[in-house]
A = this chain, B = another copy of it.
Amino acid sequence: MRKLSDSNVVFLQKAIIQDDFWSPYIALVRDVVVPYQWEALNDRIEGTEPSHAIRNFKIAAGLEQGEFYGMVFQDSDVSKWLEAVGYLLELGPDPELEAVADDIVETIAKAQQEDGYLNTYFTLKEPEGRWTNLAECHELYCAGHLIEAAVAYYRATGKDRILNVACRLADCIDDVFGPEEGKINGYDGHQEIELALVKLYHATQHDKYLELARFFLDERGKLPHFYDEEFRKRNGRTHFPGLKMTADKFYSQAHLPVRQQTTAEGHAVRVVYMCSGMADVALETKDPDLLAACRALWSNIVSKRMYITGAIGSMSYGESFTLDYDLPSGTAYAETCASIGLIFFAHRMLKIEPKSEYADVLERALYNTVIGGMSRDGKHFFYVNPLEVWPEGIRKNKNYEHVKVERQQWFGCACCPPNIARLLASLSTYVYSVKDNTAYTHLYIGSEARLELAGQTVSLIQRSELPWEGVVRFEVAMQRTSRFTLALRIPDWSGSPDIRVNGKAVVVADYQEINGYIHVDREWSSGDIVHLVLPMPINYMKGNPLIRETIGKVAIQRGPMVYCIEEADNGPHLHQLFLEQGAGADGRLEFEQEMLGGLLTLAMPANRIVEEGWGDRLYKANADTKVEKTTALFIPYFAWANRGAGEMRVWVSGSDSGQGGKRMGQSRQSTADS
């Protein structure tokens, strides 16, 4: 791990990650993912859908001849890549990468129009169509990603070339959109510009960008409806005829003003990008209604519409949320980008109010769906992250058409791969936050951070055995002894932790546990050591009884890792496995060094339904179900689909529902007796 300069660390309150589990990921992003994606964006990966994204910029810049190709939002793939490069350069210098990036920055700058407009699709293909189809055409979405990239690249390198491009673009947008007479009272179909403008506001301190972000949020869902008006103005021209983006206001969360939204509707990525922007603006403006809407949407997502893997989006059609407690495993959409967006949202809520539920969800999405979305070689990706697959069924039943059983090299719509890259490259920003002289530890990831506390820079050196053991050690280093609070998150997967400061047990008083963090408030001196042991049992997870999919089923989780069973370990017909529960049914842990870079597997007592005696019969009356004892081998969900196409499931049949199991019998009895 390279060393970053002090000034950068302080500026960003970043940590340098030094962690057995995560450092290889960040190295992978630097050494493989970002270079690989550069090749993909330049159409140099054989056998994949072409990207054409760099070519589009070069053509728009007048450097090459040709036509635009790709999705209307193809530009954003380049921006996300550049943003990831920015984060990598913050971690340490890389002149070669920086030269490549500077080059594409120049190309982007040349592709920018006189008036600051920048979008290769419209410049090359529909120059007259600018700002005429916000509902469908992602102009502001692409602008948002360009701005995010610009801010990241500027912060890492200090070079303002791309930041100036971003400002000119934002100024162009500010000239066109706004409440004033003659400006468009509209907003983008795909939220992104809002959170980007807040970043630009932070980088430049220009209030107008924050104002514009708030404008876009507040316009959404107003009546008469902007989508209908622009639709009429462009004589009903439609870019994506299959999706009813203009007519279906729920699809892009334009069915109600954002402050009135209480349920997560429509396209899942858009929801969480919107919420991130709302939280940003709420934090800056202290707007209580906006914060209330953030809390309501958060609550609806995480308490009614989120998969146990931290995935969101229950339906392929519209890549969308559906309704409360509708969480089908096999037909799940569960887009990688949506979990990344959920992390963005959680991160912002943590800044507003440090509550462990935000970090719990952030961690859940990160350790399961996000890293499950990329192979360990950094070159294969999932867009859709189902919780159950039956490859033969997926091939033949069109309800599963969107599901891939193995990670893909690239996608025609390639939003997810660069999104993973930019998230992992910036992972260090998620570990801590500081508020009111308190350092909050959100993630237990080995790292060295410099935090501004008690008027000085405090180094916090974390060593962590997560995700496999709940053993964490902090060492404090600072110039002078001073008082501040170290707030240690107690994850939802853990029991009561053991905390020792300099070897002495901390007896935690009730008042010390605030919103899921144990506050250790004391005079700290350099060299102080905190030992934290988080119990990490094998958790038998149940779904809320209102979830149809999970009734009678169990999922296994240990620490932040949700587990799954795969055909490679357990043979086919995984639905025939019933997990034993209750006393004596504990699993056996085994660390498999050879498996995918090292995995902790769990061997769990189970019963398997035996098929014998059925012959050609499809249904039988009053047949005893025959079972045999077996062991179900679980691996972490993120590691699935690395050994060829095969069945997988997260939710496994359990044996303690209804009449069954001893414990259940007793519990039912007592209900009946009372």
Contacts and interface: CB of A to CB of B under 8 A. Distances in A.
B544 A624 contact: no
Nearest to A658: B578
Nearest to A552: B653
B623 A578 contact: no
A614 interface: yes
Given A392-B323, A655-B659, A618 B544 contact: yes
A397 interface: yes
A303 B618 contact: yes
A69 interface: no
Interface string A289-301: 0000000000100
A626 B578 contact: no
A673 to B, nearest CB: 11
Interface in A631-661: 653-661
B392 A619 contact: no
Interface in A607-629: 607, 609-611, 614, 616-629
A573 interface: yes
A315 interface: yes
A10 interface: no
Contacts of A609: 545, 551, 657-658
A280 B299 CA distance: 62
A539 B580 CA distance: 28
Contact of A660 (B493, B619, B661): B661
A607 B606 CA distance: 23
Given A326-B393, A540-B622, A626-B671, A655 B658 contact: yes
A667 B315 contact: no
Contacts of A661: 659-660
A351 interface: no
Contact of A671 (B628, B658, B659): B628
B671 A629 contact: yes
A41 to B, nearest CB: 33
Contacts of A133: none
A658 B547 contact: no
A659 B660 contact: yes
B658 A660 contact: yes
Contacts of A541: 619-621
Contact of A576 (B551, B578, B581, B653): B551
Interface string A588-609: 0000000000000000001101
Interface in A355-400: 390, 392-393, 396-399
A202 interface: no
Interface in A300-317: 302-304, 306, 308, 314-317
A326 B396 contact: yes
A409 interface: no
Contact of A317 (B318, B398, B607): B398
A184 interface: no
A579 to B, nearest CB: 7
Given A315-B399, A617-B303, A659 B581 contact: yes
A303 B557 contact: no
A650 to B, nearest CB: 11
A622 B539 contact: yes
Contacts of A399: 315-317, 328, 331, 399
A225 interface: no
B546 A611 contact: yes
Interface in A168-189: none
Given A542-B619, A544-B617, A548-B575, A607 B655 contact: no
Contact of A616 (B299, B393, B656, B668): B299
A130 interface: no
B315 A540 contact: no
Contacts of A516: none
A579 B396 contact: no
Contacts of A398: 315-318
A664 interface: yes
B664 A542 contact: no
Interface in A502-557: 537, 539-548, 551-552, 555, 557
Interface string A91-121: 0000000000000000000000000000000
Given A304-B618, A542-B623, A657 B659 contact: no
Interface string A391-425: 01100111100000000000000000000000000
Given A316-B399, A328-B399, A551-B576, 5 more contacts: A299-B616, A314-B397, A543-B618, A546-B573, A552-B552
14 contacts: A303-B617, A308-B618, A315-B397, A322-B396, A323-B397, A328-B397, A493-B621, A544-B620, A551-B575, A627-B657, A627-B658, A627-B671, A629-B668, A653-B657
5 closest residue pairs by CB, A with B: A660-B660, A578-B658, A655-B659, A655-B658, A317-B398
